Structure 1
Amino acid sequence: MARARSGTKPPLLDPIRLDDLTDADGSELFSGADVEARRFTDCDFEGRDLTGVAFRECEFHTVSLNDAKLRGATLSECVAGELHAAIFSAPRSAWRDVRIEHSRLGSVELYESSLRSVQFDGSKLDFVNLRNAQLHDVLLSNCIIEELDLGSATVQRLELQNCRIGTLDVTRATLKDVDLRGSDFSVIRGLEGLRGATIDDAQLSLLAPIMAAHLGIIVE
């Protein structure tokens, strides 16, 4: 069903076109490597030190990144499907024009990272740590997320579309054009941080008890 018009601006996602990719097994990957136009299929990078690696115009399919060290990594014009990692550690990384689909990630460490024109679709994520991150033009669609932590993050044009979120933490977040309509939440922390978000009538009714408790209002 088409969503009613509103003044909330949707994310602007650039199309990703990948041509002339070379199949690779990851043997050339190392800390600080610059990797371009590669296709990784059925690769296991568990525990690998990939600190500061740069992936440009790359495709990943059925890749394990459990406990790989991706601190400070750069991902640009990349597409990934069926990623697996109980621990996905990429703090202070930079993402631009990235799409991740049908993946299963546990603890996702993306604090102090920059995400621009990024989409997660049809994925199951446990704990997503985006504290102090910069998000511009991000779409989360058809995802199940146990906890989404946007504490102290700066967020512009984020849309959560048909998602189920256990806990949303927006403590001290700065939000602009953040569309939460059509998604379900069990707990929201840091209600003041919701300023700048758009919700629907059903979500407002669910938030009413949380808001009342936050303000010390007794409802009888």
Structure 2
Amino acid sequence: MAAAARRPAGATRAAKGKTKPPVLDPVRLHGLADAAAPHAPDTFDGLRFDGESFDGTDLQGSTFSECEFSSASMMDTGLRGARFLDCRFTGLYAPVFRAPRSTFRDVVLEGSRLGSAELYDGAWDSVHVDGGKLDFVNLRSSRLTNVLFSGCLIDELDLDGVHATRVAFRDCRIGSLNLSGAVLQDVDLRSTEFRSITHLPGLNGATVDEDQLMMLAPLLAANLGLRIEG
């Protein structure tokens, strides 16, 4: 779909000077054929995988286009360099999700349970992660454009070296957030709770609300070497 046809997720376009929301293309899946989980890398188009197990399968470099994964299991599946284009995941289960250097474009991941998610050096564009619990998400050195996290519980989110543009976290709970070396533009953290942040200067380019700013005040003061006395 052409970029001109895109619309912001859950909002109209932000006014000039405001934080720009992510712009997501809808994932439209029609006429899918039911399929069993593959056993070797290939290109897969227009398929539905319902309750299938991909556990332990080497699918490095595979391309999945216009596919739906419902209650699939991907424990220790080899997905290095894989490409997911116009795909929907519902109820994905993966205690170890191995997909470094992968591409997610026009993807919805909803209600999923991921343990250690190895997603470093990846490229995400028009991705919506909706609900679910993620223990450790490693997105180091990835490029994120038009990404929305909503209603997620994330224990540890590693954005070290990430380039993020128009990324929003809505009603999420994040334990620890690592922003070392991150480059942010129009990253919206409002309405999201987090316990700790590594490398506060990495917040440059992010938007927070007043309550978050009050929570961050002691950390910001310590980072600047300020001493607060009554």
Could you tell me which residue of structure 1 aligns to residue 28 of structure 2?
A: 17
**How far apart are 1:29 and its partner, in Å?**
4.0
TM-score (norm 2): 0.91
Which of residues 16, 40, 43 in structure 2 aligns to 1:30? 40
Alignment of 1:82-121 (within 5 A): 82-121=91-130
Deviations 1:56-110 (A, max 9, x none): 0000011110111100000000001000011001000011000010000011111
Instruction: Work out the CA distance in 2 between the residues paired with 1:183 and 1:141.
Output: 9
Q: Does 1:212 align with 2:221?
A: yes
Amino acid in structure 2 at the alignment position of 1:79: R
**Greater than 6 Å deviation, 4+ residue runs:** 2-6
Q: Report the aligned-residue RMSD.
A: 1.5
Give identity over the alignment, percent. 49
Q: 1:20, 1:64 → 2: CA distance?
A: 23
1:125 & 1:210 partners in 2: Cα distance? 26
Indicate the SS of the match to 1:211.
Answer: helix
1:177 aligns to what?
Answer: 186
Code of the residue aligned with 1:30 in structure 2: it is: A
1:39 aligns with 2:48: yes
Give, in whole Å, the separation in 2 of the partners of 1:219 and 1:47.
54
Deviation of 1:209 after TM superposition, in Å, equals: 1.3
Show CA shifts across 1:13-60 (max 9, x none).
00111001000011x4412x1000000011111111110110000000
Are 2:82 and 1:73 equivalent residues in the alignment?
Answer: yes
**Aligned equivalent of 1:7, options 18, 22, 28:** 18
Within the alignment, does 1:167 sit opposite 2:185 as a pair?
A: no
Partner amino acid, structure 1, of 2:111: H
